[in-house]
A and B are shown apart, each in its own frame.
Chain A
Amino acid sequence: MIDPNSNSFWRRKPRAKNSSIKSKILLFFSIMLASIGQVLLKYGVKSLGGLEFGGGAAAELFRIFTCPYIVLGLFCIALNLLVWMTIISKLELSFAYPFASLSYALILLIGWLVLYERVNALRIAGVAFITIGVILVSRTEKKAADA
């Protein structure tokens, strides 16, 4: 017997419903937000010349929360929480969660393009493996509602 719900990597799946397409666009958006948030935080603490809590925590916290990059970064992360909750209310957690690893790859890319961080062959290989892994996971979709 062939289970019609079995997830075959090789067989083409029936056309996804609208909500599923929306969830995937949101997944992409969520990864972007998470990565941009992280890069903004990094850029923020860099622009502050590193954090130093030794000379009074209150003054340092004031400095942190008045830095526009950090505030914007935290905003992205908070917004991402809402987007993420929308995603996991429609998709299985074990399906959606691995996609978050793409933000590692995206952070690397943004770090290279914007923050001029160095990228070597090992990092590129790492990004390639993460991407392949996510593509494999993306072939196993089963919506939370059917579970």
Chain B
Amino acid sequence: MAFIILLTSIFCVVCGEILLKVTVTRLEGVDFVSTSLLSHLGKLLRAPSFFLAIAAYFSGMVLYLAAISKLDVSLAYPIMSLNFAIILVYSKIFFRENVTPLRWFGVFIILFGVFLISRS
């Protein structure tokens, strides 16, 4: 059961990230750094996908906390980092990004690093 909660949490976090990307794409790019923060914030607060993204993130966090209350963090934490790989798959499918073998390889090295940290 705790395992299903954890997988749902990963799903929510990935959805949140995809929805954020969808939001900035539909707004034709946002820039909170060099242009007026308020005008961009106004646009953002009228984008439904932004609120969906926040809701998905938040649910993901709550579900993660629920999962680690039952599972060992040393197990849950590396599993959670699977979202790095899942994001690559979805970026390719939804945004037609050019995910090169080197990018895949880099992410697998990162996953291995996270795994090592969780074992310590």
Q: Which of A's residues lie within 8 Å of B, judged by CB?
A: 5, 7, 9, 22, 26, 82-86, 88-90, 92-95, 97-98, 101, 104, 108, 120, 122-123, 125-140, 142, 144, 147
Contact = CB atoms under 8 A, between A and B. Distances in A.
B106 A133 contact: yes
B72 interface: no
Interface of B: 17-18, 20-21, 23-25, 27, 29-34, 37, 44, 81, 84, 87-88, 91-92, 95-100, 102-103, 105-120
A97 B23 CA distance: 16
Contacts of A131: 113
Given A133-B112, A137-B103, A137-B107, 8 more contacts: A94-B91, A101-B113, A122-B116, A125-B113, A128-B113, A134-B106, A135-B106, A136-B109
B20 A86 contact: no
Main secondary structure of the interface of A (DSSP, over half): helix
Contact of B88 (A94, A134, A138): A94
Given A85-B20, A88-B21, A92-B98, A123 B120 contact: yes
A108 B118 CA distance: 12
Nearest to A147: B97
Contacts of A139: 102, 106
Given A101-B114, A133-B106, A133-B108, A92 B91 contact: yes
26 contacts: A26-B33, A85-B24, A85-B30, A85-B44, A86-B32, A90-B29, A92-B95, A93-B95, A94-B87, A94-B99, A97-B87, A97-B91, A98-B106, A104-B114, A122-B117, A122-B120, A125-B116, A126-B118, A129-B109, A133-B108, A133-B111, A136-B102, A136-B106, A137-B106, A139-B102, A140-B100
A144 to B, nearest CB: 8
